[in-house]
Amino acid sequence: MTLKTPEEYLESIKKQKYNLYLFGEKIDNWYDHPIIAPTINPVMKTYELAQDPQYQEIMTSISHLTGERINRFTSVHRSNEDLIKKVKMQRLLGQHTGCCFQRCVGMDAINAVFSTSYEIDAKYGTKYHQNLLSWLKRIQSEDLTVDGAMTDPKGDRSKRPSEQTDPDLYLHIVEEKKNGIIVRGAKIHQTGFLNSHEVLVMPTMAMRETEKQYSVCFAIDTATKGITCIYGRQPCDTRKLEECLCDRGNPNYCGQEVFVIFEDVFIPKDRIFMKGEYDFTSPLVERFAGYHRQSYGGCKVGVGDVLIGATALIAEYNGVEKAPLIRDKLVEMVHLNETIYSCGIACSYEGHKTPAGNYEIDLLLANVCKQNVTRFPYEIARLSEDITGGILATLPSEKDLNNETVGPLLKKYLKTHEGINVEDRFKLIRFLENMTMGTAAVSYKSESMHGAGSPQAQRIMIARQANLEAKKALIKKILDIK
Ligand code: SF4
Ligand code: FE
């Protein structure tokens, strides 16, 4: 079996038994918890759309390892076309869910580790790439979801990993055994960790010679002994505990962030893809970040499409859709959204082949893409709030709307023009609130800011890739300056 149905995925992920905490309590049947359950649906969508013949080209590809049709989320990009289809797939999923569908991090990690493990082997004669390929074949043939884990807590930011008073603030090897290693530390902001079968762990930054024990990359089952998960809160998350569906904003789809702690976790030898080769931590981090910055050029645009659609619809409900200033603001939203998409497509189109045979994005353009993502969704959300009106921040509860006494009053005063159902207007305002300042704002705004690296990380990469000397040479040539 190479393509799981959404139901098969659900069944398989429910088998993961986590040591999970939420609101200070240990959670057993995590998939049934009302705060967690809606985060599984967007991942199921990545399986559902892959079954749909009209999306086959975008959602699936042929594995170069097994020759079988696989979900694109488990694939290695083999051409510029693959890189472009990846962005299109992410936009499509954003359009179908209006939230973070979580499965991209693993895909980006697989592709970054693919070329890096190949290069480590070429330099040191190690067997990491073979380890990766054996693991990846299983991921592809069983259509598993992988989480990519990079971010460490980092402790005192002015100190290197080995200078921290507590060495565990960066994940590291604490013991070497004949058949594997023991690791300790934490990975934070883990998007979709619980909804993933496996986690691919990478170093958080470029390491130095004295930091070999921090230069480690491996993959293991997310429910491995020694891993503790603490569920990340989101604004308005407790509304999911209430029975009103409308008040949740986007009741069926939601992202997920988890704080993951590794307490002496055993990693078998054949699951290790880097162990001490500190000189390859920098390319690995840069590649992963580059791929994930490209990803935002698809997913955030798809979610932006939904937000723009919701804003255009509320303008219509409010009877202002023909006003020139409203139309102009909607045009501005589209312009910003498509600018992000253009960068996502451009860095894919300008990608290149690596020695390992997979394709890597153009790093400069991928970083420009993500830098725009740290700004434009905020402006798009601002324009959406502007068009929606103050009701976005003052709407009473769905319970009031359905109350015998005040319900009819609310319905009377929330009415706009004939043909517009007050309940639909109510639902839409809640969705817009959720997207601009509720749970969904976590993935549309905060994740746009900090996910795949905070803005300064892109500026460092842009500075590195800018090649100002070549630009100076251009003007010198034009003006004949020696
Ligand atoms: Fe995918 Fe976007 Fe979520 Fe990252 S933020 S996992 S790219 S949907
Ligand atoms: Fe993310």
User: Is the CB of residue 204 less than 8 Å from the CB of residue 170?
Assistant: yes
Residue with the nearest Cα to atom 5 of ligand 1?
100
Residue ranges lining ligand 1, Cβ < 6 Å: 100-102, 104-105, 191, 295-296, 299, 443, 447, 451
Q: Which atom of ligand 1 is nearest to the CA of 447?
A: 5
439 C-alpha to ligand 2 centroid (Å): 15
Residue range 333-357: mean pLDDT, rounded: 98
Output the pLDDT for position 479: 98
Query: What is the assigned CATH class of domain 6-280?
Result: mainly beta
- Per-residue pLDDT of 37-78, as tens digits, reads 999 999 999 999 999 999 999 999 999 999 999 999 999 999
> How many Å apart are CA 85 and CA 396, to the nearest integer?
42
C-beta contacts of 360-363 below 8 A and 24+ residues apart:
360/77, 360/111, 360/115, 360/287, 360/290, 360/291, 361/83, 361/290, 361/291, 361/294, 363/286, 363/290, 363/461, 363/465
Cα 65 to ligand 1 centre (Å): 25
Nearest CA to ligand 1 atom 3: 100
CA–centroid distance, residue 56 to ligand 2 (Å)? 25
Q: Where are the domains of the chain?
A: 6-280, 283-467
What is the CATH topology of the domain spanning 283-467?
Butyryl-CoA Dehydrogenase, subunit A; domain 3 (1.20.140)
Nearest ligand 1 atom to the CA of 103 is 6
Q: What pLDDT score was predicted for residue 263?
A: 98
What is the structure's pLDDT at 2?
86
Residue 451 CA to ligand 2 centre (angstroms):
5
Atom of ligand 1 nearest to the CA of 99: 8
Chain-wide mean pLDDT for the chain? 97
Q: Confidence band (pLDDT; 50, 70, 90) for 268?
A: very high
Residue nearest to atom 2 of ligand 1 (CA): 299
Q: What is the mean pLDDT of residues 351-361?
A: 98
Minimum CA distance residue for ligand 1 atom 1: 104
pTM of the model: 0.97
What number is the average pLDDT over the span 339-345? 98
- Give me the active site residues, please: 100, 104, 191, 257, 292, 296, 299, 447
Q: What angle do CA 111, 76, 216 make, to 5 degrees?
A: 30
Task: Kindly state the average pLDDT of the residues 433-449.
Answer: 95
